[in-house]
């Protein structure tokens, strides 16, 4: 290299560095929001039908709105500090419930608009509910409204001969008869309606004995794709209704491209499903009236209606941009108190007041930042220095200190921390062993020395604080009884008891709790536990394949009713994984679901719970409490049992001066 190049290179490198620094120093400054909060992990999606976690729900509750909404009702409970929230009119200004509790009629307001200016109508809700239930949306909360007429069949795409069905032809945008599916199920292809007359099924494939559940499931679904459906197609009327008795022309449909290509008379379809939208389960009677028909009365149905998966999404927006592009800030159309300003990945979601919201003048904060903040320490630091005004997750190490402060809020939450037991594995198949394990635990030590946020020791499964429900007694600690039970089960003094393994997912709190329990069982029963730490993905899979003995779990109530904690444990529930089955329990849960009288229903559930806490397929450890801090100049902040915080009711007592915000 000639020396000139070398000298030139040094100059070049220096210039490059300068440019790099100048580029890096260019920052688009964003003024801080009026209110900012710690929102945990970055939200995975803003689509109300796809979201599952709390970080997502906090945002979606502000961006969208349902017929009803959970809002503060009366002053906070002086004892627990809990703010009662009840489902209150939102997009609907009133509603009626039929006497048998099976028909709900919602009357929508007439001054409600989407952020693009178009009015919100009952049709929006009918369409949104249908989208939520459509299997291709893959909404995890579809089961919540399985009591809506035909919802369960539609959600799980179950059809039977004789059903009124809808057939979606293979002509979504960009599809040809032989192409792959356009995974955008909305906009949909052409719809045909009719009565299913026959399903022509090829012989069922035989799988070798002992093939895995997954292989069987998959073979079953493959087989179903080979079915040919014969449907008596009737025309759709101009107003969108269907006369099922109209003169029909039989047509044949198949999902498999091979079958559709082989036979001229068979048309390719995305699927034949019950015509949920046309059968009146969730129906827009007119622009302002939305009627829901249930197969059985659901006492907590209004709570479900106020839950975000049942909020309305904008059909035109979704059909124009498709999922997930419709959730981008430049595309999204919503109807809540706030609208999306921008979203910066792993940084924040900024929302601003929606001027078209019908109660916009009562919405407190102009802008809100949902800061993606996972680290508890960082969140606390940012709270202390005034960068955020509400911190939702506090570091356990300093909880004792923080508890003394006035801006600290703690209240029982509707969720439980427990251990699942695999009752198929000896010796856990013996109820005496399970009882002994539970009786030998000192839960008070765990909540006082490990978790420290004021959690309540749990001897039952349903957390306290559900109106009208009182849990059975449960079995408090009794080491002597535990030892007796263990001896009766054939392990006097713990002799001959195999080493059990206790699995938990990686977390700062699960390990110390498991260690304390390991110690207690060792001391009280002479039982040895092996602790197994697993990363979340592997943990979930191992438990679902039921290859575990004891596993740590948590459950947060989906709605304020004991059922959300109890129906998990009925025989065959995919969430149970305990192999526990009790016909009496199943019967009680089923009877409760059909019971109209609230008091009798609660009593049935209570009986079921007392079976659960005697048989103990799960060992309850404690009920969670929230531990959070919010600046004291904020009005309207109070903890609630479901950990819901409607943000539109928050406002500053006196507007803070601009300097104090940053």
Partner 1 sequence: MRDLLSYLFKRFIWMILTLLAVYTVSFVLMRAVPGNPFSGERNVPPAIERQLKARYNLDAPPIQQYFDYLGGIVTDFDLGWCMGLEDYSVNQVLAEGFPVSATLAIFALVFAIILGVTAGVISAVYRRSPADVALMAAAVLGIAIPNFVLASLAILLFVFTIQIFPAGGWGTLQQIALPAFCLGLPVAAYIARLSRAGMLETLSKDHVRTAFAKGLPKRTVILRHVLPGAMLPVVSYLGPAVARVLTGSLVLEKIFALPGLGSHFINAATQRDYTLAMGMVLTYTVLLFVMNTLVDISYAIIDPRVKLQ
Interacting residues toward partner 1 by CB under 8 A: 1, 5-6, 9-10, 13, 17, 20-21, 23-25, 27-30, 41-42, 44-47, 50, 52, 135-136, 138, 140, 142, 155-157, 181, 183, 217-218, 220-221, 324, 327-328, 344-347, 371-375, 377-378, 381-382, 384-385, 387, 535-538, 540-542, 544, 553, 574-575, 662
Q: Which is nearer to partner 1, 156 or 523 (CB)?
A: 156
Q: Which is nearer to partner 1, 344 or 444 (CB)?
A: 344
Q: Which is nearer to partner 1, 323 or 529 (CB)?
A: 323
Nearer to partner 1, 11 or 599 (CB): 11
Please, what is the minimum distance in Å from the beta carbon of residue 473 to partner 1? Answer: 29
Give whichever of 402 and 588 is closer to partner 1, judged by the CB atom: 402
Beta carbons of 182 and 173 less than 8 angstroms apart: yes
What 3-state class would DSSP assign to 292?
Answer: strand
User: For partner 1, which is the closer residue by CB, 329 or 356?
Assistant: 329
Q: Would you mind telling me the total number of residues written for the chain in this entry? A: 662
Least Å distance between CB 3 and partner 1? 8
Residue closer to partner 1, measured from CB, 47 or 124? 47
Cα separation, 269 vs 252, in Å, equals 10
> Closest distance between partner 1 and the C-beta of residue 327, in Å?
5
Q: CA 510 → CA 83, 402, 450, 517, 627, distances in Å?
A: 29, 22, 10, 11, 17
Question: What is the distance between the alpha carbons of residues 49 and 186, in angstroms, rounded to a whole number?
Answer: 13
Q: Are 289 and 165 in contact (CB under 8 A)?
A: no
Sheet strands side by side (includes 289-293): 92-97, 103-108, 289-293, 282-286
CB of 111 or CB of 218, closer to partner 1: 218
> Toward partner 1, which CB reaches closer, 17 or 362?
17
Distance spanning both ends of the chain, measured CA to CA: 54
Q: How far is the CB of 375 from partner 1 (least distance, A)?
A: 5
CA distance 208 to 7: 75
Cβ burial 96-121 (10 Å sphere, 16+ → b, else e) = eeeeeebbbbbbbbeebebbeeeebb
Whether 293 and 102 have beta carbons less than 8 Å apart is answered as yes
- Residue 47 C-beta: closest distance to partner 1, Å: 7
* Least distance to partner 1, CB of residue 138, Å: 5
Least CB distance to partner 1 at residue 470 (A) = 27
Q: What is the DSSP letter of 522?
A: H
- CA distance to 159, 469, 535, per residue, from 628 (Å): 48, 27, 27
Q: How far is the CB of 513 from partner 1 (least distance, A)?
A: 18
- Smallest distance, partner 1 to C-beta of residue 299, A: 22
Eight-class DSSP state of 451? I
Q: How far is the CB of 454 from partner 1 (least distance, A)?
A: 25
Minimal CA–CA distance to 338: which of 651, 649, 648? 648
Residue 635 to residue 225: CA distance in whole angstroms: 57
Place of tokens 């003169």: 247
Give φ, ψ of 510 to 5 degrees: -65, -35
- Measured from the CB atom, the residue of 31 and 117 that comes closer to partner 1 is 31
Tokens of 421: 């037991």
């Amino acid at each position: 290299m000639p020396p000139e190049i070398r000298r030139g290179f040094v100059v070049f490198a220096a210039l490059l560095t300068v440019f790099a620094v100048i580029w890096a120093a260019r920052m688009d400054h964003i003024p801080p929001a009026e209110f900012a909060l710690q929102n945990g992990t970055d939200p995975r999606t803003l689509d109300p039908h796809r979201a599952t976690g709390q970080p997502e729900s906090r945002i979606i509750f502000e961006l969208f709105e349902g017929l009803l909404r959970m809002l503060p009702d009366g002053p906070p409970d002086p004892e627990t500090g809990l703010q009662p929230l009840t489902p209150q009119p939102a997009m609907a200004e009133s509603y009626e419930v039929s006497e048998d509790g099976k028909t709900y009629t919602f009357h929508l307001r007439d001054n409600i608009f989407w952020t693009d200016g178009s009015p919100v109508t009952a049709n929006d809700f009918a369409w949104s509910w249908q989208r939520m239930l459509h299997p291709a949306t893959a909404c995890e909360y579809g089961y919540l409204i399985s009591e809506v007429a035909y919802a369960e069949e539609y959600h799980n795409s179950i059809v039977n001969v004789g059903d009124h069905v809808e057939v979606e032809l293979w002509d979504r945008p960009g599809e040809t008869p032989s192409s792959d599916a356009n995974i955008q199920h909305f906009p949909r292809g052409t719809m045909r309606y009719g009565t299913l007359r026959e399903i022509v099924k090829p012989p069922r494939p035989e799988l070798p004995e002992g093939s895995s559940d997954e292989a069987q499931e998959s073979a079953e679904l493959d087989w179903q794709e080979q079915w040919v459906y014969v449907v008596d197609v009737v025309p759709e009327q101009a107003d969108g209704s269907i006369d099922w008795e109209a003169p029909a022309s039989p047509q044949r449909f198949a999902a498999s491209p091979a079958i559709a290509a082989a036979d001229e008379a068979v048309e390719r379809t995305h699927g034949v499903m019950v015509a949920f939208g046309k059968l009146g389960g969730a129906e827009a009677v007119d622009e302002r009236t939305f009627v829901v028909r249930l197969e059985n009365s659901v006492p907590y149905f209004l709570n479900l209606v106020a839950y975000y998966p049942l909020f309305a999404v904008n059909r035109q927006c979704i059909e124009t941009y498709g999922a997930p592009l419709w959730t981008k800030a430049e595309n999204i159309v919503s109807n809540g108190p706030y609208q999306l300003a921008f979203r910066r990945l792993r940084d924040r979601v900024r929302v601003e007041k929606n001027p078209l919201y019908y109660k916009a003048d009562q919405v407190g904060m102009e802008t809100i930042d949902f800061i993606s903040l996972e680290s508890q320490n960082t969140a606390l630091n940012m709270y202390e220095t005034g960068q955020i005004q509400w911190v939702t997750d506090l570091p356990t190490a300093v909880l004792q200190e923080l508890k003394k402060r006035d801006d600290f809020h703690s209240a029982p939450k509707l969720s439980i921390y427990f251990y699942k037991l695999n009752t198929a594995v000896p010796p856990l198949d013996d109820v005496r062993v399970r009882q002994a394990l539970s009786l030998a635990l000192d839960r008070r030590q765990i909540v006082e020395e490990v978790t420290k946020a004021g959690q309540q020791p749990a001897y039952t499964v349903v957390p306290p604080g559900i109106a009208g429900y009182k849990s059975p007694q449960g079995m408090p600690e009794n080491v002597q009884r535990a030892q007796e039970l263990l001896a009766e089960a054939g392990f006097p003094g713990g002799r001959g008891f195999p080493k059990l393994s206790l699995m938990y997912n990686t977390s700062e709190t699960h390990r110390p709790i498991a260690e304390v329990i390991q110690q207690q069982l060792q001391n009280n029963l002479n039982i040895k536990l092996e602790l197994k730490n697993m990363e979340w993905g592997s943990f979930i899979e191992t438990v679902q394949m039921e290859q575990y003995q004891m596993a740590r779990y948590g459950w947060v109530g989906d709605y304020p009713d004991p059922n959300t904690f109890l129906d998990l444990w009925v025989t065959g529930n995919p969430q149970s994984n305990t192999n526990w089955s009790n016909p009496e329990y199943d019967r009680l849960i089923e009877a409760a679901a059909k019971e109209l009288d609230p008091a009798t229903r609660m009593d049935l559930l209570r009986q079921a719970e007392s079976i659960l806490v005697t048989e103990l397929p799960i060992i309850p450890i404690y009920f969670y409490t929230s531990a959070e801090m919010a600046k004291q100049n904020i009005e309207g902040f109070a903890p609630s049992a479901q950990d819901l915080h409607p943000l539109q009711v928050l406002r500053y007592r006196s507007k803070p001066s601009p300097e104090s915000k940053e």
